Structure 1
Amino acid sequence: MPHKNINRRNFLQQGAIITGGVALTPLVGYASPKTVTAQSELADEPMWYQRPLRMLQTVLREPDATNYNAQAVVDYMLKTDCNTLVVNAGGIVDFFQNPLPAANINTFMGKNDILRDITNACHSAGIKVIGRVDFRGVEEKIFRQFPDWFSYEETGKPIQLGYTKPQLYASCYTSYHRNEHAEKFIKYIVGEYDIDGIWHNSIGVGGICHCSRCKAAYKAKTGADLPVYATASDEDLKQYMVWKSEVADQHMRRMKETVKAFGKEKAYSAEVFSMFESGGKVDSGIDLYNAREHFDYLVSVAFLTENSEHIHYEDLNYANTIVRFLKSMAPEKEAVILYGGNGTAHRYVMDPPQDLKIWLWEGLSAGGRFWNCSFTGQYPDATHDRRNAYNHQDTYSFIKKYEHLLAHQVPVANVGIYYSRPTRLFYRNKPPEGDSFDEAIKGIERVLAENHIPYHFIPDDQISTDRLKKYKAIIMPDVKCLSENEVALLQNFVAGGGKLLATYETSLYSEDGLPKKDFGLADAFGCHFTGKKVNTRKDCYQYINDPSHPIVSPDSGKTELLINAGFTLLCEAEPSAKKICTYTPLVHNQPPEKAWTNEWAKELPTVLEHDYQKGKVIYFANQPDQVTHAMGHPDMSNLILRGIQYLAGEANLPVTTNAPESVHLGLTKSAKTEGEYILSLVNTTSGQGRPVRRLVPVNEIKVVLNLPGSSLKKFEVMKSQGECKVEVRNGKVEVAVEKLEDYFSLFVKMGI
């Protein structure tokens, strides 16, 4: 029986655990992603989906079809400046008069045809329409008609989705239902209704399917029988996941080709979850690495809260984070965050309104677009809780007004965070430290965001000599898993003069997650792993061994010690390396009379600097990034900040400001027109805790932009709550903002 607390995302990640009933440790396993080059593919006349998207999705319930008012929906969209509607077409329940086999026409609709009515009304108003299709499963009455279209357990029992009510009968990537039937379905609605695109909802398939098609396809590919989850070895499941990711890729390609047969202007995209989730041992086989080439615009689900029993609010800058990541994956495509005014965990009432406004400005400041998803009612102002019906209007109206400037914006940065897919998958096995993949990255992001240092993500499959040379410093937050090719490229980057900051177990595992005896980057780090790691979470410290070093000198005049926390690797430094801080064994705090030591240890480094040929590395043998995220102690965050500034050079950073940490800064540039930039300031200053009740205005902010170009040709203040002065001094653009309430935006055109 499925676990009562499971949700759709967990089902996709851990489907085999649910259907098999046996919990095994997670396992790394994916087909190797194709190497891609992040080059702009923007045409002179971009498609509509390559322009700034202002989307509304109405996920209609069956009764919403009663007295459906298409014109009222359009009027609301025009009032809130939406330019695209995503609306139910069908799959589980059809919102059109479906003549195809397996039709399940909404009985509340009667003889009406909602898809036709809303498409005609939207097109008359110049609004694009995307049909939402969902082939994850069907009701029992459909399954009984076509039982060989669907998924089965190894016992021959049909697989049902335990998180849905009623429990839908599931289908898999190879099934007739998700392929031949889906193909006919999509061809019919695109051809008959002339919709502008397809949104493939719930594309992911969890667990292991043992239908006849899967058995035959797996046998033909591998020569083996499908593994049974409860008894399969790790290697068997790894092989299965390689195959599954391949068939998932084939399925996405087939669906996109079906849509594109009607013209390249028809858009195709589908649902992909967070950049941080490691998933289960057997999951959907789909992430942004293999999905990005198939989708015309990239969408990531990014609600303020999870659809789960235990509610927590995502970090306010997460919308900014996910846009940066999407832009790093495919800078030529629109990066869209899918959120909702009424959220996803409690869909009948609003999400905190001030948090949502910050959420949108944060996403916009990185060049992002928005998809407001409403789950109840015909549209957000025609449902039970209408308090957030116009929450997005300011942002959408701003994007509409300045579309000519906002189009094709990508983040500007000369500091890069290395993002490793194999390391993310490594965390399917819970490490002894008990932390998760996101913590180290979020710790680094916190330091960068609070100190207004722009950054990119560098996906591991886009690494190249030319790509690495773009950055003054590259940050590797506990990037455990590296291939030999990655190690060589990174080592050559440093040898040629590059600067690298790395933490903890970076390069201590192969790309397959297998442990190494020593760091792959040991030569660059200037130290070697002894094979021992220690728990330094409590009563542990770092001795400042080199008090004159720039990353500790602001503190060393008043302290000999800094905090140590998390875990620490015991490493031996090369004679050529500088031991900035050293590991001190635990000093018990009880009884206080005995809480002392004769001498602070100075042998094993926790922080060191190493000059490797022409380049330089700062290596942390402990977890300053994870600790910064978990507890935020200033010793750890200051070490990271000063390390980045020391490596990159403060004078080389593209922006400096006197704004407080609670003001987040965005800097983007046009991917089409050289010399065009947009500076954004997002105010998150408020009272203690979440959600945010009220923003506190910030006054007298100064920003200095260090941009390439011979002169400032023109500028335009796009949004400001007070006076703004812009002038050029010493070749830099100086911006003075009198008052920031929520969001400030400035367009700058530099001479080339």
Structure 2
Amino acid sequence: MLPTPLLSRREFLVRGSVVVGGVALAPLLSRSAEPLGGTTVATASSDADLWFRRPLRILQTVLREIDARAYDPTAVVAYLQRAACNTLVVNGGGIVDFFPNPLPLANPVRFLQGRDVLGEISAACRAAGIRVIARVDFRGVEEPIYREHPDWFGVTAEGTPLTLDYTTPTLYAGCYNSYHRNEHAERFIRHLLKHYPLDGIWHNSIAVAGICYCPRCREGFRSAIGADLPVMSDASPAELDRYMLWKAATADRHVARMRATVKSFGADKAYAAEVFGSMFQSGGAIWSGIDLYSARDHFDFLIATAFISENNAELRYDEIFHSATLVRLMKSMTPDKEAVILYGDNGTSHRYIMDAPAETQVWLWEALSVGGRFWNCGFTGMHPDSTHDRRAAYNSVAAYEFVRDHEAVLAHHAPVANVGLFYSRATRQFYRTASAQGDRFGAAIQGTERALLEGHLPYDFIPDDQLTPERLARYRVVILPNVRCLSDAEIALFRDYVRAGGGLIATFATSLHDPAGQPRSDFGLADVFGCSFTGRSADTRKDTYQFIAQPQHPLVAPDSGRTELLLNYGTTLLCRAQPDAQVICTHVPTVNNQPPEKAWVESWSREFPTAIEHRFGAGRCLYFSNQPDQNTYDIGHPDARLLLERAVRHLAGDALPIAESRMPASVHVGLTRSLVAPQEFIVSFVNTTSAPVRPIREVLPVHDLSIALRLGGRLAEHQVLRAPAAAEVRADGEFVRVHLARLDDFSAVHLRIQ
């Protein structure tokens, strides 16, 4: 019988609704609140001094079998020292073993020739004071190994062996319940930790896709659910949802078992696992039953896969700030754990050659600016300076050295902000199938991020399972970027937040669906938005505009003296404003552009609003019925971006921690705060200025930058951690002013207030 599953998201929200009305938010959101908007600083846990809670500088060498032939542990240690690494992740085994394995299913690398590569490198690193984590991989085995114990592995619905279709050679796979991934894996890990001087275990490829029909899965599902396992091709959505809840509980039990195995050797033994799948991916990764939400409590530090380009035939570069996005999400979940980006200085699908050096360096600085750390994963040799393309061997050194040299002040930092960006897994789930209106899950979030970053507005994420009155009370402004799927409990929380004095920004189809993706007849937050949905939408991809109906409103006043119209693009929902709502802009239907002589209208339409401000209780909401966030991401027009930036500034008033900034939008500002010494901050500057081509090939320096910070106290002392030229830091009443004469790629200043 399975143990009681973790609360499903729906159960969490239903139970959480009990406390919605029980907390008074108004005092926490009043104008007399501290300048940081009542930002709550987490307290570091009692094990903060464990080595994996300190800044991590990791190198992973994913050894090929042939690398064992002339493996030189002395050379590897020498490289680690030159590259400023403090931790090595190296192959232990599972698919193939880099040690003489006496256990069942052993598959030692044929080039070992009596050597013990894992033993040699772990001993050499221990002598040099470098931590070693062994990489284990139980995703599958080759056919000859499988034949030894075929009953240890997974089975398809047809009764054939479960295999992986993306590996060469084909691997025979197990499931979360299989003997291979459990009893065998546990025995394997125990052997490594007992016989080698290891500091932890990295559980590679822990996720299992699809449905397994092995006896353990069949019996476990029937015992817990009282039904047979569904068949993917015939199952209803409800049956698949029920299966996924069971699978998630099974996966959680599996991860807990592996962690307990590692921790039986001591609290200082680190355990972490590979949870692939972008935070914006709405496809197959959802079906593994495991993600950072469910696994974060089991891991001693959090890792997000952050290769600059994906492992695909067609290369696509993520947003240059995406590494920082991942760190923000991880830090919002567990601020007291290290948040690490797993990148590769030689890529993934083209792993034998380097990535663009400037691109990688900016990628690392972006992550560092919000409290992130590094895990350089190399695939093609015993270390990056001993492989076919050695041009990137020391490309990460500057960032690694910075963390090494300033470890004391960098430790236990997390982003600080009073603008919160809501992250909704139910909405992510909704986008498993393409939207008929062309909106996409990640585009709205990343477009919002772009507006915030370019406007120098610090923000962090609000994970949906941490949505509470207390969490909302930290923020002066909360943003819902096209959050289609909200539960009644979530709606009640946001309604109470605004009523108590909070500022809410929402776009497009926010709250039009419930958590299961079922449509509502009107916005769940219609009374907060100040408008109702008519049930109709307009295709506004071409020849459509927004008419400025209220020229003096702060959202449009900087432009209205010289224009009556703003861009519209994408899809616009047709809504009716409530009598007490301020209509700022309205939808202009298509003005056909050909022939030009006919491209005019008698008057601009005012019928349907596109931007509305509405007072609700003591707070205010700005609702956009179109897509300024996705438009910022897709086409980058300034009308869309500036509406979002001005919306935040309007609702936040004078409470933003960055009170003034004089620097280009291509300079991103990071602000972090110490969890153990809350009076200490680090402000970072990342320069992404370059020619308009990705990947970035050259970072162009910028000059004469200044910023004024409002940190809730007076400046006591400061330390310039990195700057290529003169950096001036001074107190100015309630402000801390920082001036940089020049910024190359990255600069940072440590501040202490009193």
Equivalence map 1:599-678=2 (5 Å):
599-650=603-654, 652-678=656-682
1:439 to 439, 443, 461: 443
> Is residue 236 of structure 1 aligned with residue 239 of structure 2?
yes
Match of 1:149 among 148, 152, 156: 152
| Offset, 1:651 | 5.4
Partner of 1:21: none
Q: Which residue does 2:31 correspond to in 1?
A: none
1:437 maps to a residue whose letter is F
Task: In structure 2, list runs of 5 or more residues that go unmatched.
Answer: 1-7, 17-39
Query: What is the match of residue 183 of structure 2?
Result: 180
Mapping of 1:353-368 within 5 angstroms? 353-368=357-372
Helix, strand or coil at the partner of 2:316: coil
Q: Whole-Å Cα distance in 2 between the matches of residues 346 and 31 of structure 1?
A: 41
2:353 is aligned to 349
2:506 to 489, 502, 506: 502
Distance (Å, rounded) in 1 between the aligned partners of 2:596 and 2:173: 62
Quick one: distance in 1 between partners of 2:138 and 2:327? Answer: 27
- 1:150-197: CA deviation from partner (whole Å, max 9, x where unpaired): 111111111211110001011111100000100101111011113111
Alignment map for 1:21-170 (pairs within 5 Å)? 39-43=42-46, 46-170=49-173
Contact residue 33 and residue 289 of structure 1 kept, 8 A: no
Is 1:253 aligned to 2:256, yes or no? yes
Question: What residue is the counterpart of 1:535 in the other structure?
Answer: 539
Q: 1 CA distance for matches of 2:216 and 2:149?
A: 15
CA distance in 1, matches of 2:320, 2:595: 42
- 2:566 corresponds to: 562
Whole-angstrom CA distance in 2 between matches of 1:527 and 1:700 = 45
Match of 1:730 among 733, 738, 747: 733
Deviation at 1:320, TM superposition (A): 1.0
Match of 1:394 among 386, 398, 401: 398
Q: Give the structure-2-normalised TM-score.
A: 0.94
Q: Structure 1 residues 443 and 372, CA, compared in 2 at 3 Å: closer, same or farther? A: same
Q: Deviations over 1:319-364 (max 9, x none)?
A: 1111111100110100000001101120100000010011111110
The 1:45/1:291 distance shift into structure 2, 3 A limit, reads: closer
Q: CA deviation at 1:433?
A: 2.1
Report SS of the residue matched to 1:572: strand
Provide the C-alpha distance between the structure 1 equivalents of 2:579 and 2:612, rounded to a whole number of angstroms: 11
TM-score by structure 1 length? 0.94
2:721 partner SS:
strand
The answer (yes or no) to whether the contact 2:189–2:262 under 8 Å persists in 1 is yes
2:485 to 481, 487, 508: 481
1:441 and 1:158 mapped to 2: Cα distance?
A: 41
Is contact 1:413-1:654 (8 Å) kept?
no
Q: 1:707 to 1:620 in 2, by over 3 A?
A: same
Determine helix, strand or coil for the equivalent of 1:716: strand
**What does the per-residue CA deviation read over 1:61-82, in whole Å, with 9 as the maximum and x for residues that have no partner?**
0010012111110111011110
How far the C-alpha of 1:124 sits from its partner, in A, is 0.4
2:644 & 2:715 partners in 1: Cα distance?
A: 34
**Structure 1 unpaired stretches of 5+:** 1-28
Moved more, 426-435 or 257-266: 426-435
Per mean C-alpha deviation after superposition, the further-off stretch among 359-368 and 529-538 is 529-538
**Structure 1, 41-50 or 285-294: larger mean CA deviation:** 41-50
d(CA) in 2 for partners of 1:653 and 1:563? 30
Residue aligning to 1:267: 270
What fraction of aligned residue pairs are identical, expressed as a percent? 52
Whether the aligned pair in 1 keeps the contact of 2:457 and 2:656 (CA below 8 Å) is no
Partner of 2:701: 697
CA contact (8 A) 1:353 1:388 kept: yes
Deviation (angstroms), 1:590: 2.3
How far did residue 282 of structure 1 move?
A: 6.6
Q: In structure 2, do the counterparts of structure 1 residues 160 and 374 end up closer, same or farther at CA, with 3 Å as the change threshold?
A: same
Higher relative contact order (CA 8 A, sep 6+): 2
Amino acid at match of 2:749: L
- Give the corresponding residue for 2:310: 306
* Cα pair 1:678 1:745 within 8 Å, conserved: yes
Query: Cα deviation per residue 1:451-490 (whole Å; 9 max; x = unaligned)?
Result: 1110011111111112111111111100111111111111
Question: Does residue 740 of structure 1 match 2:739?
Answer: no
Q: Deviations over 1:628-684 (max 9, x none)?
A: 100011111111111111111155343431110111111111011121011111111
Tell me, yes or no, if the aligned pair for 2:507 and 2:626 is still in contact at 8 Å.
yes
8 A contact 2:469–2:497 mirrored in 1 = yes
Q: What amino acid sits opposite 2:264 in the alignment?
A: A
Q: Measure the CA separation in 1 of the matches of 2:511 and 2:358.
A: 41
Structure 1 residue corresponding to 2:210, chosen from 202, 207, 226: 207
What letter is aligned with 2:172?
Y
Which of residues 308, 320, 326 in structure 2 aligns to 1:322?
326
Shift in CA distance, 585/45, structure 1 to aligned 2, threshold 3 Å: closer
Q: One-letter code of the match for 1:180?
A: E
Whole-Å separation in 2 of the counterparts to 1:299 and 1:231: 36
Amino acid at match of 2:112: M
Q: Deviations over 1:96-153 (max 9, x none)?
A: 1111101111111121111111110000011111010111000000111111111111
